[in-house]
Every structure is written in structure tokens, then in C-alpha cells.
């Protein structure tokens, strides 16, 4: 089955916007590659809410569902960049997945609704895109909703030939809860942590939409925890605890990062 993702499964009016984002990131990335050279993107737990039922619409615009009645609630955010290897070379034809909470802090997961909240039915919750010949990817989505026990975050997975290369999380700079987030604090070295906390800036003077850039840097082999820095599973760190998608349950997640604290 051909699973190639078309980057432009989105209305014409938006193509121009995303095209300009790509051009923008292209310019910025050149600098960031040098600034963050060889800092592998740190891995992080996938958490308990990787969708247990994937949505029919899986494109890279999570704000609109095919056939949906309205756009998703929340502040629109876009981010994109390049997928690079440790030498800074672009990696093409890799699939980047994004899953995250909606504006109410709820995931598209059978247990992903937060107490007292309802899931936004207009939010896609999950999307993916294949990197192009320059290693570029991008997403249009919303700022994730906050839920108890975490700062706001995007979940990201990089796959090549259906093999997971990296599972990580992306954060927005300036969010007060970042400093207290156990998962963020456990991610690799300080340089690696800084590489996953990105500035999101207004896309234009008139709108509220935000845009950020983020390069993802992975090693040359499929995800091998013992080679990925000093976090859990890295040299000097505790043994690898990552499990396969289906096996990563709530208990494992709580145990790893929150002890007996609130989730």
C-alpha cells in the first residue's frame, strides 16, 4: 500500500501560508543547524495517550477534519523544520507523527478525557507527514491544552520504514509549568532540553496564530536507548524503560515520572 503523505491535503488558501512557513523555516534552520550541531534530540516517554484508535483523517493539518463542521478550538500554532542526522544531513522519506491534547487537555484516546472536560470533536488529535527531499516537515495544529501534572507539550514520533527512530516531546518556551515538568527535566542534557523548548511567535500582526521552528536530530541507527544521551536508558542513567506503543500504559507512565504524585 502506498502510504506516501501528501503535504498539501489542505485548502488552497492555506497552501500559501504553509509555503511561506516552509520558506521561513528554511532560512532560520540554516542558522539553527550550526547553533545546535550534533545535539541529538532527546527522547521522552510516549505517555499513555498515543491514540488507541487512529482517526480517519491523519494529515498534517490537525485544525481541520475532513468533513468537519468547524475548525478546532484553541490557538492555532504551526511548526516545522528539518529532520537531520547527527552530521546535519537531511533525512527524507521518514514519517513524523504528532499527537497532542486538544484545547481542553483531552486526547483522542479512550481514556484520554480529563475529569470534568469534554473532547473537542473538531480537533484531529493526531497527524503525520513524510519528510521531503530536504528533510522538511511541518504541522498546522493548536496550542495543546493544559492538564494536571504536565506542562503543555506535543508528542512526536519519527519512523522510518515503520520502525520507530525517536519518540520525544516538544515544548513551548515561556510556559510557566515548563520549569516543574518532570518529563521535560528528565530529557537528556541541558543542551538537549533547550533544543526541545522552542519559541512560538505570532505569525502576523493581526492574528493570534503562532509559528515555531524545530529541527529534529536523530542518530544513524534505529532508536537505541543506550546510545541516546544520559536520560533513562543512556550511559550513566537508569536502564531503558521505553516500551512498544501498545505496552506503554498509565501505570508505567506514572511510575516513571510522577511517583505517587497527581497525574
Quote the least distance from Cβ 99 to Fe ion, whole Å.
8
Quote the least distance from Cβ 49 to Fe ion, whole Å.
6
Among 2-10, 46-54, 64-72, 116-124, the segment contacting Fe ion (CB under 5 A): 46-54
Which C-beta is closer to Fe ion: that of 145 or that of 234?
145
48 near Fe ion, judged by CB under 5 A: no
Nearby residues of 145 by Cβ (< 8 Å), 6 or more positions away: 74, 101, 102, 103, 104, 105, 106, 152
CA distances from 188 to 41, 215, 232, 235 (A): 9, 16, 8, 11
Quote the least distance from Cβ 47 to Fe ion, whole Å.
4
Query: Which of 94, 9, 56, 41 is CA-nearest to residue 218?
Result: 41
Quote the least distance from Cβ 153 to Fe ion, whole Å.
6
Which C-beta is closer to Fe ion: that of 7 or that of 47?
47
Which C-beta is closer to Fe ion: that of 224 or that of 250?
250
Query: Which of 124, 161, 121 is CA-nearest to residue 139?
Result: 124
Among 6-14, 43-51, 65-73, 221-229, the segment contacting Fe ion (CB under 5 A): 43-51
CA 164 to chain centre: 14
Q: Quick one: which of 7, 42, 47, 232 contacts Fe ion (CB under 5 A)? A: 47
Site for Fe ion in 62-101 (CB under 5 A): none
Quote the least distance from Cβ 48 to Fe ion, whole Å.
8
Among 42-50, 110-118, 125-133, 209-217, the segment contacting Fe ion (CB under 5 A): 42-50
**28-66 b/e with 16+ CB inside 10 Å = b?**
ebeebbeebeebbbbbbbbbbbbbeeebebbbbbbbbbe
> Residue numbers of the site for Fe ion (CB under 5 A)?
47
Amino acid at each position: 500500500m502506498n502510504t506516501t503523505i501528501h503535504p498539501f491535503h489542505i485548502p488552497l488558501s492555506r497552501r500559501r501560508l504553509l509555503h511561506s512557513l516552509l520558506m521561513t523555516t528554511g532560512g532560520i534552520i540554516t542558522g539553527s543547524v550550526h547553533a545546535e550541531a550534533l545535539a541529538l534530540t532527546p527522547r521522552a516517554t510516549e505517555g499513555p495517550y498515543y491514540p488507541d484508535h487512529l482517526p480517519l483523517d491523519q494529515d498534517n493539518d490537525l485544525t481541520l477534519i475532513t468533513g468537519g463542521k468547524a475548525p478546532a478550538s484553541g490557538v492555532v500554532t504551526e511548526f516545522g523544520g528539518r529532520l537531520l542526522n547527527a552530521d546535519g544531513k537531511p533525512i527524507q522519506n521518514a514519517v513524523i507523527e504528532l499527537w497532542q491534547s486538544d484545547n481542553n487537555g483531552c486526547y483522542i484516546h479512550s481514556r484520554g478525557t480529563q475529569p470534568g472536560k469534554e473532547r473537542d470533536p473538531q480537533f484531529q488529535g493526531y497527524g503525520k507527514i513524510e519528510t521531503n527531499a530536504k528533510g522538511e516537515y511541518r504541522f498546522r495544529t493548536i496550542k495543546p491544552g493544559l492538564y494536571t501534572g504536565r506542562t503543555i507539550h506535543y508528542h512526536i514520533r519519527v519512523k522510518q520504514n515503520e520502525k520507530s527512530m525517536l519518540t520525544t516531546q516538544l515544548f513551548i518556551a515561556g510556559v510557566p509549568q515548563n520549569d516543574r515538568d518532570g518529563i521535560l527535566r528528565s530529557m537528556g542534557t541541558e543542551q538537549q532540553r533547550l533544543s526541545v523548548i522552542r519559541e512560538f511567535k505570532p505569525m502576523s500582526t493581526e492574528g493570534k496564530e503562532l509559528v515555531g521552528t524545530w529541527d529534529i536530530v536523530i542518530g544513524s541507527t534505529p532508536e537505541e536507548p543506550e546510545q541516546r544521551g544520559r536520560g533513562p536508558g543512556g550511559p550513566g542513567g537508569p536502564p531503558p524503560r521505553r516500551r512498544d506503543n501498545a505496552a506503554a500504559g498509565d501505570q508505567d507512565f506514572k511510575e516513571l515520572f510522577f511517583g505517587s504524585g497527581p497525574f
